[in-house]
Amino acid sequence: MTHEFESLRPLLAYLPASEILAIEQGYEFSRHAHEGQFRKSGEPYISHPLAVAGILAGWHLDAQTLCAALLHDVVEDTHATTSEIEARFGKPVALLVEGVSKLDKLSFESEQHAQAENFRKMLLAMAQDVRVILVKLADRLHNMHTMGAMPPEKRKRIAKETLEIYAPIANRLGLHSVYQELEDLGFRYLHPNRYQVLSKAVKAARGNRRELVDKVKIAIQEKLELCKIEATVTGREKHLYSIYRKMQEKNLAFSEVFDIYGFRVVVRDQPSSYLALGALHALYKPIPGKFKDYIAIPKANGYQSLHSILFGPNGTPIEVQIRTTDMNRLAESGVASHWMYKSADAALNDVQTRTHRWLQSLLDIQADHGDSPEFLEHIKVDLFPDEVYVFTPRGKILALPRGATAVDFAFAVHTDVGHRCIAVKINYELMPLRTQLRNGDHVEILTDPHASPHAAWLNFVVTGKARSHIRNYLRNTRVEEAAALGERLLNHALAALNPDAAEPDPAVWDRVVKDYGLQTRQELFAGIGLGRKLPLVVAHQLLQVQGTQSGEPAHPHAISIRGTEGLAVELAQCCHPIPGDPILGFIHKDRGLIIHTHDCPSIRAFRTDPDKWLDVEWEAEPGRSFPVTIKVVVGNQRGVLAKVAAAIAEQGSNIGNVSMEEEDGSPYTVLFFTVQVENRMHLARVMRGLRGLPDVVRIFRVKGRKDGRAAPPQ
């Protein structure tokens, strides 16, 4: 039963019969795999892959891509496997399907991490074969058209994702109409009320401004005919999201946005574009600074056109775009033009080269990042370019995001140039490296073979490539230096605890490294050097494990704690230990040593695992103040809070925080004070001072939560 396929067949007329047969087989496989599955709207699931294939057929994509479109959900949602697809339809189709499929079957620590990992996988597959993203864009476009049946929260999440990632990718690949459609659909579901209001306003204005649009269109046509320039003139309405964005960016009301209509002039060849521009500038005066020549300097996605904003009738600004037929075709179809129009067109080849260069930059960023959310952050930066165009010393044009600096330029030229740059000449004058580049700047980077990136550069670079390489360099350098320092600190700690102990053997090292959740000894040394782990704690564990394995348990001294060790030692927030309290050290693989009081309610369940604990004690003079919470029950009397606060201050203690609980009708109020004390004796003095007040009924120190129940271990 293939009657659904018949709706697709007319769109495949550009393909040979043998390829249409292969696509039909792909449809049959997908229909069988999805049998019994339905979309949220109630339609049979096969309607979705069929619609995606239809969109791609409209772009004249090849048979392999259309086959992958029909099969793109079978691995994710059915029992079919990638190897089955490869056996039936060939490796290229299987790779496309694998690139589009999500990673749902793996588990991630958060939804954000899963989303980032999915994008990373998709973008890297796209770097190998751009058809992956074309299938994904068609998939997203159909999903956005059929989102009405989704719950509101899911609609908003998908719409946000579309505006942040998919629409910019479509723009970057030159798929202009897809880009605009995705933006409008994303806007509709992310801000439904704003969309409705703006949509109605545009419809209302359409009637009011129709006369103006017709008048301008006729005037342009007559002027071009008078100048003997063959051209097609169309009036177009800006898409809703671009109007909304302009209102947001410039803080305008809808009535203040005049250029919701633009005019496109399509001419025969490039010289005619400039002749048409001259004719229109003679018809309507251009607004200074509002002319852009994207023919001489194309956008990064290959887009070419002349843009000019003119003073129209009654001083109304109107936007005009002038381009050739080939440029217009490329502006609408972008990278998909490669399949739609098989030709040796230099412009198409240039688009392919630019696209490949950008996709390759994704691989460069990926090579430096195992962290998916960070990778996604860099990609988002690169997806909103709003380019500036600058010249290298040899006259080559580089496109960079607006706000890019000389350091961004250096990394765009080559990674080594970025690593070694020390100064820059902009328009032949020495300038700071943080200088933001402007259109037309001539930029020359000065380098030194011994130079290296600075952490301060991260404060001003904007491109993903520059940020990625700087972070990677600093991370590696910092880790190497920290590991060397950590090894020295650990050796010193081992000697201090037990000068006669033998060097721990490899099995002891492996056990301790594994206990910390690490892979290598170097990682452990780096953790010590970076202050995340206390050398005495690691030394204590090494000696303990070594003694256990040799049958002669070691008994190193308890570790002394000052409470000022920084990252490596943390005082638990659940019990607020202070000097004088009996304490235990809880070893946390990520946060170092966490100090709890012996009777902290939150650690009862962990006391039974001795491998997690170390004996610790306070130094004689820690030399700092510690926060502790006390609960004071007082009678409801005027001025009682001031009396209690004054009594605390008399004992030389500061109050960090005060909160109050009062039950209706009760003669008593409960006050919670977080006070700063030097040690347990100081706390005792504070509490004695409070007990002497006639209004104080009860007082005690709080451990765990304020309601008396155990808090989770902090």
The C-alpha atoms of residue 385 and residue 402 are separated, in whole angstroms, by 7
Residue 76 annotated as catalytic:
yes
The C-alpha atoms of residue 212 and residue 227 are separated, in whole angstroms, by 23
The C-alpha atoms of residue 374 and residue 63 are separated, in whole angstroms, by 36
Place of tokens 């039950």: 663
Helix H or strand E segment including 359: helix 346-367
pLDDT at 336: 60
Catalytic residue among 19, 24, 62, 76: 76
pLDDT at 122: 63
Tens of pLDDT along 567-622? 456 788 778 888 888 888 776 655 656 788 888 877 776 666 655 666 677 776 65
CB 706 within 8 A of CB 631: yes
Distances (CA, A) of 169 to 380, 409, 429: 10, 22, 37
What single string gives the DSSP state of each residue in 249-262?
A: HHT--GGG--TTEE
pLDDT at 557: 53
Predicted TM-score (pTM) above 0.85: no
**Three-state secondary structure call for residue 443:** strand
Residue 141's nearest CA partner among 54, 77, 207 is: 54
Tens of pLDDT along 524-577? 888 776 666 777 778 877 887 777 666 554 445 555 665 555 445 678 877 888
The C-alpha atoms of residue 487 and residue 480 are separated, in whole angstroms, by 11
pLDDT at 186: 92
Residue 592's nearest CA partner among 631, 675, 535, 674 is: 535
- Residue 290 has which token pair? 């509002």
Sort 444 into a burial class: Cβ within 10 Å, 0-12 / 13-18 / 19+.
Answer: middle
Sort 595 into a burial class: Cβ within 10 Å, 0-12 / 13-18 / 19+.
Answer: buried
The C-alpha atoms of residue 390 and residue 399 are separated, in whole angstroms, by 7
**Domains, the chain, ranges and CATH?**
3-190 (1.10.3210.10), 194-342 (3.30.460.10), 350-462 (3.10.20.30), 473-557 (no CATH), 626-701 (3.30.70.260)
CB 682 within 8 A of CB 625: no
**Residues contacting 505, CB < 8 A, separation 6+:** 546
User: Taking CA 575 as the corner, what is the angle to CA 570 and CA 577, rounded to the nearest 5 degrees?
Assistant: 60
Instruction: Give the dihedral sign, CA 15/16/21/26.
Output: negative
Amino acid identity of residue 682, one-letter, is H
Strand 443-447 versus strand 421-426 pairing type: antiparallel
Residue 596's nearest CA partner among 609, 610, 582, 612 is: 582
Amino acid identity of residue 516, one-letter, is Y
- Those residues of the chain that have pLDDT short of 50 are 1, 103-109, 340-344, 346-348, 369-370, 553-555, 566-567, 707-714
Amino acid identity of residue 93, one-letter, is V
Structure letter (DSSP) for residue 442: B
Amino acid identity of residue 77, one-letter, is D
**Three-state secondary structure call for residue 698:** strand
Instruction: Report the DSSP beta bridge partners of residue 284.
Output: none
CA atoms within 13 A on the CB side of 577: 29
Distances (CA, A) of 209 to 256, 261, 318: 14, 9, 12
The C-alpha atoms of residue 323 and residue 305 are separated, in whole angstroms, by 5
- Residue 131 has which token pair? 């058809």
Residue 341's nearest CA partner among 325, 353, 354 is: 325
The C-alpha atoms of residue 176 and residue 171 are separated, in whole angstroms, by 6
The C-alpha atoms of residue 435 and residue 20 are separated, in whole angstroms, by 56
> Counting every residue, how long is the chain?
714
User: Taking CA 154 as the corner, what is the angle to CA 153 and CA 159, rounded to the nearest 5 degrees?
Assistant: 100
pLDDT at 693: 92
Catalytic residue among 77, 86, 515, 570: 77
Structure letter (DSSP) for residue 566: G
Strands (E), 207-260: 231-237
- Residue 25 has which token pair? 């087989």
Instruction: Give the dihedral sign, CA 489/491/494/496.
Output: negative
Place of tokens 């030159």: 174
Strand 592-597 versus strand 569-571 pairing type: parallel
Distances (CA, A) of 31 to 45, 71, 78, 634: 8, 9, 11, 75
Structure letter (DSSP) for residue 590: T
